[in-house]
Amino acid sequence: MTTDVSTYRYNHTMYRIKDPKASIKFYTEALGMKLLEEHHSEESKFSLYFLGYEDPASKGLVRLGRQGLLELTHNHGTENDADFAYNTGNGDVGGYGHIAITVDDLQAACARFDSLSVKFIKRPEEGRMKHIAFVSDPDGYRVEILENPMLRK
């Protein structure tokens, strides 16, 4: 039996989330992703939400044919527990880092995030790295924001 590694593709990253309404709102409204697919298992008490960006290369592809998706996994009931929180891997010990999103204009994107009350971890003017920002999703996962001038129209 053999396999061809040249056919392998990075498909998605999975985050466990407390409140799907808050998380989906953040990723769709603040970051502009699209909710592409969702699955609900009442018996097992969990839901999966797959988000990503639409572009000409991914138009019409099924989920397993796409690349760079975000899977949000919600275990039912966590949204009702005020004390519940997932370990995002970014605490005192660290380990996990972040996902990164490219934008056409970093300053304009940050102004838009401000208007949406997105929580900043690092603004472009803070620290030595002036070309990046970091924001936090509702569960505390970090999202790096990078400017890509090639995206400008």
70-106 burial by CB neighbour count: b if 16+ within 10 A, else e? Answer: bbbebeeebbeeeeeeeebebeeeeeeebeebebeeb
The secondary element (H helix, E strand) that includes residue 48 is strand 46-52
Name the active-site residue from 37, 38, 79, 144.
144
* 29, 58, 84, 89, 92 from 81: Cα distances, Å: 25, 37, 5, 21, 24
Contact 35, 51 (CB under 8 A): yes
Active-site residue 144, yes or no?
yes
What residues are annotated to the active site? 144
